[in-house]
Structure 1
Amino acid sequence: MNSKPCTNPWTPAIRNEQWWLDRHQQILDSTANLGNQIKIVFIGSSLVEYWANEGRPVWEANYAPLGAINYGIGGDRTEHLLWRIANGELDGLTLKVVVLYIGSNNVPVNTVDDIVRGVNTVVDKIHEKLPNTNILLVGTFPRADQSDVSGTLRKIRDIDQKLEALVGGDTQRKGHFFDLFWFLAPSSLDRIYEHLYVGDKLHLNTEGYQVWQREMNSIFNSLNQ
């Protein structure tokens, strides 16, 4: 179990690691150099970043042709994404959709209500930057990398239900919510469907990314008009 971070999930915080700063700069360069070509941004933590790894075949077939770009950074919590947004990653873009996945890395270290506040703040800040863009918040996926699997899954369900109530159907912020949870874990909430995950029981494998794309397809297409 990770120790509690010194920052709040709703307060922007930098990660003082050179590889992370380099990745942030790479994203800034993409925003500056490809701005008009970018129509869709997937932004968040490693489950977004790994669309470029395990998810690459699915990405290349379904999202790359639409002008989508991957702004995921592994290990990010809500506070880190807030810092990235405040420091230019979405500046000057004109997007149809932002697909947001963030908060999973807060689960081991923050309370449910603090995580909900953090994710909701991210939605606020994206909307401030991109007031005409649909924001598709993807609910937190099940994970079995913590010792108390059932407790972790129940906590995630609590987070997702509260976020769906806040963001789903939020016409003012153009917020939408997509929940993949029950495609990745059973209603018993005691395990995950391991055949959809890599060995760490946290990240999806290629089949898992296929499920993500397939099940999100309807709402994604409706927002990408």
Structure 2
Amino acid sequence: MSGDDMNPAAVAQPVKDLQGDDRWMSQHTRFVQECKDAEPDVLFIGDSMIQLMQHYDVWREVFSPLHALNFGIGGDTTCNVLWRLQNGELQNIRPKVVVLWVGTNNHHHTAEEVAGGILSIAQLLTSRLPKAKIVVLGLLPRGERPNPLRQKNAAVNDFLRSWLPRLGQALLLDLSAEFVHSDGTIGPQVMFDFLHLTAAGYRTMAKPLSDLLLHILEETPEEKRASAV
């Protein structure tokens, strides 16, 4: 699998303005403007799982201090994120790390297609930001009990686990196991609608993610010695 344009989940496209308020394009335009004004070390980009993160204390306490930007838009698919990145959301910024979380909204694509779409985004990021690390967050299980969409998301993660190492700069952080009880159920304490995370749910994923980000952002021994002089 190469994640090329033959894959429908890897074909960049904006969201159609079906509701008539052009909110999606307005959000994209705001992000492009933010690129002109900010110098982030960490860029978060993806769907509502990224977008909603900034409305909880965990963003203010854990991620914002890392000089982070949040470019999440609810409902986005891999096709939408790919289009945004190709149309201005990487201009003028050079983050050291990009956190990518998208794919659970690709309902009409197969697991292999979804993973191929995510791989295409990661490939674009590595080509535009050759010095950055790309952290791809695995798709979380969804639904209170086991169901076909859970199986598909797990299959997407399996493909990514196999494919991402080829890029060198990209890695998968799969936190799925943190959200499922031993009987296979997911509780509303961590996912209020059995898809989107609660404050407790974001706390669950914040520790391993922040530990990884801090490790990536940590100064090299040479830089530490230079700054101590």
TM range (shorter): 0.7 to 0.9
1:132-143 matches, within 5 Å, as 132-143=131-142
Q: Distance in 2 between matches of 1:60 and 1:97?
A: 18
| Per-residue deviation, 1:187 | 5.7
| Per-residue deviation, 1:163 | 0.4
Q: Identify the residue that residue 160 of structure 1 maps to in structure 2.
A: 157
Where 2:36 maps in the other structure, the secondary structure is helix
Q: Distance in 2 between matches of 1:218 and 1:130?
A: 22
The answer to whether the Cα contact below 8 Å between 1:144 and 1:201 also exists between their aligned partners in 2 is yes
- Identity rate, percent: 25
1:91-102 matches, within 5 Å, as 91-102=91-102
Q: Paired residue for 1:27, among 28, 31, 36?
A: 31
Where 1:135 maps in the other structure, the secondary structure is strand
1:79-125 C-alpha deviation (Å, 9 max, x unpaired): 0001001101012211111010010101x221111111111101011
| Per-residue deviation, 1:185 | 1.4
- What amino acid is aligned across from residue 116 of structure 1 in structure 2? A
With over 3 angstroms needed to count, the CA separation of the structure-2 counterparts of 1:119 and 1:173, relative to structure 1, is same
Q: Paired residue for 1:192, among 186, 189, 203?
A: 186
- What amino acid is aligned across from residue 98 of structure 1 in structure 2? V
Aligned residues: 208
The answer to whether the Cα contact below 8 Å between 1:136 and 1:175 also exists between their aligned partners in 2 is yes
Q: Identify the residue that residue 52 of structure 1 maps to in structure 2.
A: 54
TM-score, with length taken from structure 1: 0.87
Q: Distance in 2 between matches of 1:125 and 1:192?
A: 34
- What amino acid is aligned across from residue 217 of structure 1 in structure 2? S
Q: Identify the residue that residue 40 of structure 1 maps to in structure 2.
A: 42
Q: Distance in 2 between matches of 1:187 and 1:9?
A: 33
| Per-residue deviation, 1:197 | 1.1
Q: Distance in 1 between matches of 2:181 and 2:151?
A: 12
- What amino acid is aligned across from residue 104 of structure 2 in structure 1? S
> Could you say what the CA RMSD is over the residues aligned between the two structures, in angstroms?
1.7
1:182 paired with 2:181, answer: no
Q: Which runs of 4+ in 1 moved over 4 A?
A: none
The runs of 5 or more residues in structure 1 that have no matched partner are 1-6
1:103 paired with 2:97, answer: no
1:109-152 C-alpha deviation (Å, 9 max, x unpaired): 2111111111110101111111110000000011117xx84222
| Per-residue deviation, 1:59 | 0.8
Q: Identify the residue that residue 224 of structure 2 maps to in structure 1.
A: none
The runs of 5 or more residues in structure 2 that have no matched partner are 1-6, 219-229
1:69 paired with 2:73, answer: no
Q: Identify the residue that residue 16 of structure 2 maps to in structure 1.
A: 16
